[in-house]
């Protein structure tokens, strides 16, 4: 879709995307900007400023990048403060795409291995969502939060061993529902998207190092291919917008039919 036919459902909004420096988050940030939002890219990778700059150039939106480790409570607080100062308004659209995966046999995994995945994927989602909601409630504004969970919050992936990842994503789905119920009285909608396999740097590492595992992912996806971040972007923009006004605590699967099999 070119910029002339793109709906502008997010005009006047201030959006932040965690993990927005690359992969799914970067494409979602681009879509929110193309739909009219000012967009902050929150990430800890060095390419985040360049991602934000490129999105601004391609969409004409105001963008910024703020370095943020989503597991660091004080850092999250400071990062969202910086976003508000830079973009001039509190964040009222949040997409939490920061996440990590770690494949390790559960009986060989250390507590640190397990905690790190839960810390980034689940606690990080909580910290960012709570920071945004606190400010919205304080300033009496509505908002929309979209968490990026995973089909791995519903099923155990095959063949990779990733108990911590699957558990963290199941946690994100229940966190989403819990926050949705708590905050809907304040006009803040919280919904989740649960993607199937998506081609990004996270999964490219597997396609390059273990083509057989990658082929198994494709074989198990009824649609016959993995998804792209662009497959998710219109859905996330919709959930972020007022058009999704009746969706509260939903978890939308976008998995090419994987869970049907």
Ligand X SMILES: NC(=O)c1ccc[n+]([C@@H]2O[C@H](COP(=O)([O-])OP(=O)(O)OC[C@H]3O[C@@H](n4cnc5c(N)ncnc54)[C@H](O)[C@@H]3O)[C@@H](O)[C@H]2O)c1
Closest CB to ligand X among residues 36, 179? 179
Cα separation of 248 and 183, whole Å? 10
Among 24, 87, 175, 235, binds ligand X (CB under 6 A): 24
Instruction: Assess whether the previous peptide bond of 109 is cis (omega < 30° from 0).
Output: no
Q: Is 209 a catalytic residue?
A: no
Question: 130-141: buried (b, 16+ CB within 10 Å) or exposed (e) per residue?
Answer: bbbbebbeeeeb
CB of 57 to ligand X, least distance (A): 19
Indicate whether 201 belongs to the interface with ligand X (CB under 6 A): yes
Among 37, 97, 133, 164, binds ligand X (CB under 6 A): 97
Active-site hit among 144, 152, 165, 167: 165
Q: Pick from 55, 61, 58: which is nearest to 43 by CA?
A: 55
Cβ neighbors of 211 (< 8 A, separation 6 or more) are none
Active-site hit among 144, 150, 152, 168: 150
Longest dimension (CA), the chain: 53
Indicate whether 19 belongs to the interface with ligand X (CB under 6 A): yes
Q: How many residues bind ligand X (CB under 6 A)?
A: 29
Q: Which residues of the chain form contacts with ligand X (CB under 6 A)? A: 18-19, 21-25, 43-45, 68-71, 97-100, 120, 124, 148, 150, 195, 197-198, 200-203
């Amino acid at each position: 879709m070119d910029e002339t036919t793109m709906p502008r459902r997010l005009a006047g909004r201030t959006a932040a995307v965690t993990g927005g420096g690359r992969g799914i988050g970067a494409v979602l940030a681009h879509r929110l900007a193309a739909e009219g939002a000012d967009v902050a890219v929150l990430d800890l990778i060095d390419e985040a400023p360049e991602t934000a700059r490129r999105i601004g150039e391609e969409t004409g939106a105001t963008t910024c990048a703020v370095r943020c480790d989503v597991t660091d409570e004080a850092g999250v607080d400071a990062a969202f403060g910086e976003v508000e100062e830079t973009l001039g308004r509190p964040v009222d659209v949040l997409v939490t795409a920061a996440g990590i995966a770690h494949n390790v046999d559960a009986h060989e995994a250390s507590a640190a291995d397990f905690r790190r995945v839960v810390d980034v994927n689940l606690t990080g989602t909580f910290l960012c969502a709570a920071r945004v909601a606190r400010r919205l409630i304080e300033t009496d504004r509505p908002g929309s939060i979209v968490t990026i969970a995973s089909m791995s919050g519903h099923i155990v992936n095959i063949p990779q061993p990733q108990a911590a990842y699957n558990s963290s994503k199941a946690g994100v789905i229940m966190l989403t529902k819990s926050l949705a119920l708590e905050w809907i009285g304040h006009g803040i909608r919280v919904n989740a998207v649960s993607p199937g396999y998506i081609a990004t740097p996270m999964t490219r590492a597997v396609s390059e190092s273990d083509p057989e595992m990658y082929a198994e992912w494709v074989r198990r996806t009824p649609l016959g291919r993995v998804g792209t971040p662009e497959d998710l972007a219109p859905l996330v923009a919709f959930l972020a917008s007022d058009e999704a006004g009746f969706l509260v605590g939903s978890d939308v699967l976008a998995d090419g039919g994987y869970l049907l099999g």
